[in-house]
Amino acid sequence: MTRSATPKLAGYAGLSGVGLLTALVFVRPEVVALTAPFLLALAAGLALATPPKLAAGAGVERERAIEGDEVGGHVVVSSSTPVDRLDLYLRLPDGVELVDGTHPVALRLAAGESRRLDFTLRAAHWGAYVIGPLYLRARDPLGFLVWEQTAATRSDVRVYPREEVLQRIVQPRETQVSSGNEVSRRKGEGIEFADVRPWAAGDPLNRINWRASARGGELWVNESHPERNTDVIFFVDSFAEARRGREGTLDLTVRATSALADAYVGRRDRVGLISFGGILRWLAPGAGTVQLYRMVDALLDTEVILSHYWREIDVIPRRTLPPNALVIALSPLLDPRSVGALLDLHARGHDLAVFDVSPVPFTARPQGKLDAIAYDIWILRHDALRHRLQRAGIAVAEWNDDAPLQAAVEEVRAFRRYARHARV
Amino acid sequence: MLALGAIGAIVAYAGATGGRLAPLADGAGTLGLALLTVAIVLRLPAVVPWAIIVTAGGYLAGREGRALVDGWAAVVGVLLLLAAELALWSIDHDDRIRAERSLTVRRVVTLTALTAAALLVNFGLLGAAAVAAPAGFVLATAGIAAAVTAVAVVLRLARA
């Protein structure tokens, strides 16, 4: 706890000193009469000042919430000495708002009294937040001295983005070996009919296609596509972002990634994450709800960090990009390094789909003629970049917050269907 | 507003007494009023003591040439304290901090008790000064200081 004097103490002391000196010099009782009240206040204030002995803490009801949720919290403060005025201020991070309750608050505590203050917070924006610290400021009755203390209390709240429910997702070209919901292109044990072939020793009788066998005069058996799972790697571009106010392309990227990951995990697919930017972060593929939480937790910590280092995909750990995995890239296509990395991934044979999280809605068209031309050129170059990826055979869909993510997903699906036909 | 009113009352009283340096008293009083206004509006607590000094100087300038001790000086001193306290309260006040009602009540009570005690001390001082000869002025001042110290000790003991 730190003690400090307020400007009032210096002011009153100065007034008293000047007054008494003037009274002695000019021998005027009136001067003493003008000074005495300040001297009295000073003496009374310092006499009444007692260093407070405070104990304080703050907490929240739960550590996890979804965007828009309300979370209850409380501050508990007690003192073994009387405190005439105690100011409490709990630092709330951006993205968490106070909905109900008094904050900051000034109150009075008697000796041995304990107070609990309840409040309600609203998680306005996704992210990992620290609630606190709690600042306490106590004053003596006449406000000459101030004691300040910071309570070592910090509560973590992780706010998950509110997700859009997707009806259909981007299907990968190849599947993995484990069972899942994706119909494999390969033939094997499954439900979906694939073809018929002549019977061979070891084929089970229940797979014999009796109609085809009757027509052909020999035994034919049905072949089917097995249902397999897939590996989906989310490639989040965190090199740069376009931002206006509290919303930016990175926010949309995180929301879209979260929604897509949720959809894939629901299909028993394995999902992984590569945050490709100033700091490279990754999460090896895994399946299940726990992996989804890991993904979202990793996404919450994603931030754009300025870096001029030319990073290539060689730096990505090999196990993070398994063979036959579908790589879904979410990028505002603002940084040439991320575009280069996407082209490199495609050149190396990875199954790639790109969601261009459009930076255009976050930029205003300038008023000046020259600036407006520069802005138009920038937009054209951005479009050209997207078309360059498409010409390379990569499915790219532009997406912004005005349109549902499902529309972009459908665009990617349509492109991939068309691209497959074109290749044949 | 109350702080400005207290200072305004002192300025008006100093002007009404009409001493030899009445224009100087008026000017100093007006300057003190302006300084206090600036201190409150711009939230500058360091300016408040200057406003008090200038206003008190204006009052003393108004008393220049008068041999008799002014009995109203006790009230003027308390008004100066009241003006300073109210001005600092106004500067301290922050709308963002929601203060409990009991805090306001307690502060009003404290301020009332302080001004009442100051008034008593001032009356005691002026009474002693009227009885004592000018040669005993230092003695009277020391007596008042001792009285103030005694009050402080009593308060300290009561608090403990």
Residues of chain B in contact with residue A47, where contact means CB-CB under 8 angstroms, are 152-153, 155-156, 159
pLDDT range class, residue B108, cuts 50, 70, 90: very high
Among B53, B80, B141, the residue with its CB nearest the CB of A37 is B80
Higher pLDDT, A13 or B147: A13
Q: What is the mean pLDDT of residues B106-112?
A: 92
Per residue in A368-413, pLDDT (tens digit) is: 999 999 999 999 999 998 898 988 889 999 998 888 999 999 999 9
* Rounded Cα gap, residues A38 and A204, in angstroms: 106
Beta-carbon-side half-sphere exposure of residue A24 (alpha carbons within 13 Å): 9
Q: Is B131 exposed, middle or buried (0-12, 13-18, 19+ CB in 10 A)?
A: exposed
Among B45, B69, B141, the residue with its CB nearest the CB of A8 is B45
Domain boundaries, chain B: 1-93, 99-160
Q: Is A237 exposed, middle or buried (0-12, 13-18, 19+ CB in 10 A)?
A: buried
CA neighbor of A270 nearest in space, from A327, A343, A342: A327
C-beta separation of A399 from A249 below 8 A: no
Give me the amino acid identity at B116: A
pLDDT range class, residue B152, cuts 50, 70, 90: low
- Distance from the Cα of B14 to chain A's closest Cα (Å) equals 13
Instruction: Say whether residue A24 is in contact with chain B using an 8 A CB cutoff.
Output: yes
* Rounded Cα gap, residues A235 and A232, in angstroms: 10
E strand or H helix that includes residue A3: strand A2-5
* Rounded Cα gap, residues A228 and A289, in angstroms: 18
Q: In terms of CA atoms, which chain A residue is nearest residue B54? A: A15
Q: What is the mean pLDDT of residues B110-121?
A: 91
Residues of chain B in contact with residue A41, where contact means CB-CB under 8 angstroms, are 81, 85, 114, 118
Residues of chain B in contact with residue A89, where contact means CB-CB under 8 angstroms, are 97
C-beta separation of B11 from B55 below 8 A: yes
Residue recorded with tokens 């138009």: A376
Partner A, chain B 2-21, Cβ-Cβ below 8 Å: none
C-beta separation of A181 from A225 below 8 A: no
Rounded to 5 degrees, φ, ψ at A167 are -80, -40
B122 to A108: CB separation less than 8 angstroms, yes or no: no
* Rounded Cα gap, residues A8 and B45, in angstroms: 7
Q: Give the Cβ contact number of residue A368 at 10 Å.
A: 9
* Rounded Cα gap, residues A397 and A376, in angstroms: 20
Quote the DSSP letter at residue A267.
T
Q: Which of A21, A40, A42, A145 to substitute to test the interface with B, most B CBs within 10 Å? A: A40
Sort strands A326-331 and A247-248 into parallel, antiparallel or unpaired: unpaired
* Rounded Cα gap, residues A132 and A59, in angstroms: 9
CA neighbor of A292 nearest in space, from A260, A252, A251, A324: A260
- Distance from the Cα of B115 to chain A's closest Cα (Å) equals 8
Per residue in A225-277, pLDDT (tens digit) is: 888 888 899 999 888 888 888 788 988 998 899 999 999 998 888 999 988 87
* Rounded Cα gap, residues B9 and B31, in angstroms: 14
Predicted confidence at residue A161, as pLDDT, reads: 84
Predicted confidence at residue A304, as pLDDT, reads: 64
Q: In terms of CA atoms, which chain B residue is nearest residue A108? A: B103
Partner B, chain A 87-106, Cβ-Cβ below 8 Å: 87, 89, 102-106
pLDDT at position B159 over 60: no
- Distance from the Cα of A112 to chain B's closest Cα (Å) equals 14
CA triplet A182, A186, A187: central angle to 5 degrees? Answer: 110
Q: What is the mean pLDDT of residues B68-95?
A: 86
Among B45, B76, B141, the residue with its CB nearest the CB of A32 is B141
pLDDT at position B3 over 60: yes
Predicted confidence at residue A86, as pLDDT, reads: 92
Residues of chain B in contact with residue A36, where contact means CB-CB under 8 angstroms, are 77, 118, 121-122, 125, 144, 148
Residues of chain A in contact with residue B63, where contact means CB-CB under 8 angstroms, are 28, 30
Mean pLDDT over the full length of chain B: 79
CA triplet A356, A360, A366: central angle to 5 degrees? Answer: 160
C-beta separation of A180 from A218 below 8 A: no
Residues of chain A in contact with residue B98, where contact means CB-CB under 8 angstroms, are 102-106
* Rounded Cα gap, residues A129 and A141, in angstroms: 36
Could you read off the pLDDT tens digit of each residue along chain A, which spans 424 residues? 888 888 888 888 888 888 888 877 777 777 888 888 998 898 888 888 888 898 888 889 888 888 889 999 999 999 998 898 999 999 888 889 899 888 889 999 988 899 999 999 999 888 888 888 899 999 998 889 999 999 877 788 888 888 788 889 888 888 777 777 777 777 777 788 888 889 888 888 888 899 999 988 899 999 888 888 888 999 998 888 888 887 889 889 988 999 999 999 988 889 999 888 777 788 888 988 888 888 888 888 777 666 666 666 666 777 778 888 999 999 999 888 888 888 888 888 889 999 999 999 998 889 899 999 999 999 999 999 889 898 888 999 999 888 899 999 999 999 988 775 444 3
* Rounded Cα gap, residues A64 and A69, in angstroms: 10
Residue recorded with tokens 């894939």: A264
Instruction: Say whether residue A32 is in contact with chain B using an 8 A CB cutoff.
Output: yes
* Domains of chain A by start residue, with CATH: 13-48 (no CATH), 54-160 (2.60.40.680), 187-225 (no CATH), 231-423 (3.40.50)
CA dihedral sign, ordered A312, A317, A318, A320: negative
Residue recorded with tokens 């550590």: A63
* Rounded Cα gap, residues A233 and A264, in angstroms: 10
Predicted confidence at residue A239, as pLDDT, reads: 82
Predicted confidence at residue B123, as pLDDT, reads: 84
CA neighbor of A263 nearest in space, from A395, A398, A172: A172
Beta-carbon-side half-sphere exposure of residue A246 (alpha carbons within 13 Å): 8
Establish, for the pair of chains A and B, how many residue pairs have beta carbons separated by less than 8 Å: 149
Higher pLDDT, B54 or B136: B54
Q: In terms of CA atoms, which chain A residue is nearest residue B119? A: A37
